[in-house]
Amino acid sequence: MNGKILEIENLTVSFDGFKAINNLNFSMDKGELRVVIGPNGAGKTTFMDVITGKTKPTTGKVSFKGRNLLPYSEHQIACMGIGRKFQTPRVYLKLTPRENLELSCAQHKNVFASLVGRASPGEHRTIAGLLETIGLISKADIPAELLSHGEKQRLEIGMLVAQSPDLLLVDEPVAGLTDEETANVGNLLLALAENHSIMVIEHDMEFVRQIARQVTVLHQGSVLCEGSMDEVQNDPRVIEVYLGTPQDEHPAIA
Ligand code: ADP
Ligand code: MG
């Protein structure tokens, strides 16, 4: 197998003849942190929907760790190691952060331990480490409903990591967060990127600048360009696409 975790060839998704994804080619290396940006309607969410099996392509190929994903259901693809974080946090509000993480660990690794109601000592270590990584040690044992929006986002990223996916897909993790919370989520993703493959879809340009190494710009369902944040920011095609759309809707890229 080559070092690619994800390879997408000539992907097209048509909705009643409208191509939300149009002959898109993309690949990502194992261990990479990739940010995907693009104006509204560029096809970013559809792209994630195809990777997770929620939407099946009209034509094209999607391979994960060298394996063709098209025959598999959304659930099977999740079990194969692709974890997705949706925009809105989906944590159990009445449970504590620690309990939320225990549940996520248990669901995916050790169903028996959760049936008998005890996390194994190894899991406790993992959960303590995760609580530290997501910066919630001091709030580990209060109900999650008392967390701020940013803390809930970090908890949900922790819950995703607890499932040990090989590839983490994160959809607009800082929408609606304060600047401080945005920086916290950025630092968390950077820390996780040291030993995970992560794809982040994002609009917030400050945030993209904070975390981006390799950036892919989508436009009208295709890859417009790829490169470092500096390369992408100075690409005339990208400037045109961003400046050609209303400023209040799409933050300027430069
Ligand atoms: P983004 O996430 O980049 O804003 P989307 O992937 O949500 O873009 O949408 C890309 C395009 O496809 C948009 O024009 C959207 O209206 C269209 N689209 C998305 N889902 C559907 C659907 N289920 N049926 C019809 N059109 C859709
Ligand atoms: Mg979207």
Using the Cα atoms of residue 126, residue 33, residue 244 and residue 58 in order, give the sign of their dihedral. Answer: negative
pLDDT in tens, 122-167: 666 689 999 999 999 999 999 999 999 999 999 999 999 988 899 9
CA of 13 to the centre of ligand 2 (A): 15
Candidate from 11, 15, 24, 169 with most ligand 1 atoms within 8 A of CB, to mutate = 15
pLDDT in tens, 71-128: 999 999 999 999 998 777 789 999 999 999 999 887 665 444 444 455 566 666 689 9
**Mean pLDDT to the nearest integer, 45-74:** 96
CATH number assigned to the domain covering 4-90+166-253: 3.40.50.300
Q: Report CA-CA distances (Å) from 148 to 67, 131, 175, 180, 191.
A: 39, 16, 14, 12, 21
- For the chain, the domains span 4-90+166-253
CA of 45 to the centre of ligand 2 (A): 4
The secondary element (H helix, E strand) that includes residue 37 is strand 33-37
CA of 221 to the centre of ligand 2 (A): 12
**Mean pLDDT to the nearest integer, 221-229:** 94
Q: Which pTM was predicted?
A: 0.86
pLDDT at 233 over 80: yes
